[in-house]
Amino acid sequence: MANHPLIQVKNLDLHFGSFHALKNVSVDFHAGELVGLVGDNGAGKTTLIRVLCGIHTPNSGEVYFDGERVTRFHPSLAINQGIETIQQSVGLCDNLSIARNFYLGREPVRRIMGIPFLDFKTMRKTSTEVIREFGLRDNVSTDDEVGRLSGGERQSVKIGRAVEFKNRVVIMDEPTNHLSVREREHVNELAVQLKQQGLLVIYITHDIFQVHKLADRIVIMENGEKVADAKTSEMTADALEDVIRQGGRLVEKREAA
């Protein structure tokens, strides 16, 4: 079998009315890779990710998973392709326990005389194991409501869930916003851990210096265009920041060379 990229984006264009949000974007993502997706506010990072998750349908261009072309953009795409998106503020229900959040929509069921009951014992046991592994301290129980968790602890729940349910792509959209320095480091360590387990991690941030330390590759977007795509081993964070400042001129120089 040919060695296809896990996700391949080809010449993607997307308009919101008269606004051109994605302009001829082509990019490949591979399993076991941590890719930093960087760019200013409104550059099109989240929009690109939403296309991959089936939330937006592009006006033209193609998306392939494992070499197979996506023909229908629908939110089920993310589930079918095993994509979990981790954002700072959404994705968990504050008034439910950690265990319930862990299984949201995938609750194990136990039958007593044919009547289905939620299997709380399994939910508690598995979620505790996974969440401890992802750094939740002993003072937190999976029976606790998510509402009491710190930002970093919430991220641990989402990341643990992504791994347990065999997702193969984890998209982290500004996952460390409003986190303390220590929590930020923890989330970043988890991102590296996911990649080491063979998942594709797409890490969206404004902080090129932070992500350069973690990522194998950095993709920079600006005004809906991809303006750079470089291995971190081949380009320093300073050089990449210059690309952002100069609106992508460096790419043209490299291509011309």
C-alpha torsion sign, points 74, 76, 82, 83: positive
Among 7, 9, 34, 46, binds Mg ion (CB under 5 A): 46
149 binds, among ligand ATP, Mg ion, none (CB under 5 to 8 A by kind): none
Q: Is 156 in the site for ligand ATP (CB under 6 A)?
A: no
User: Which range binds Mg ion by CB under 5 A, 23-31, 45-53, 133-141, 221-229?
Assistant: 45-53
Among 2, 19, 71, 105, binds ligand ATP (CB under 6 A): 19
Instruction: Please tell me the distance from the alpha carbon of residue 170 to that of residue 53, in angstroms, as a whole number.
Output: 11
| Least distance CB 20 / Mg ion (angstroms) | 17
User: Which range binds Mg ion by CB under 5 A, 3-11, 42-50, 206-214, 232-240?
Assistant: 42-50
Q: Is 16 in the site for ligand ATP (CB under 6 A)?
A: yes
C-alpha torsion sign, points 74, 78, 80, 81: positive
Q: Is 21 in the site for ligand ATP (CB under 6 A)?
A: yes
Q: Is 176 in the site for ligand ATP (CB under 6 A)?
A: no
Contact 123, 99 (CB under 8 A): yes
| Least distance CB 156 / Mg ion (angstroms) | 22
- List phi, psi (to 5°) of 138: -65, -20
Contact 2, 67 (CB under 8 A): yes
Instruction: Please tell me the distance from the alpha carbon of residue 9 to that of residue 55, in angstroms, as a whole number.
Output: 15
- List phi, psi (to 5°) of 156: -60, -40
Q: Is 46 in the site for ligand ATP (CB under 6 A)?
A: yes
Q: Which is nearer to Mg ion, 21 or 130 (CB)?
A: 21
Q: Which helix (H) or strand (E) holds 123?
A: helix 120-133
Instruction: Please report, as ranges, the residues that interact with ligand ATP according to CB under 6 A.
Output: 16, 19, 21, 39, 41-47
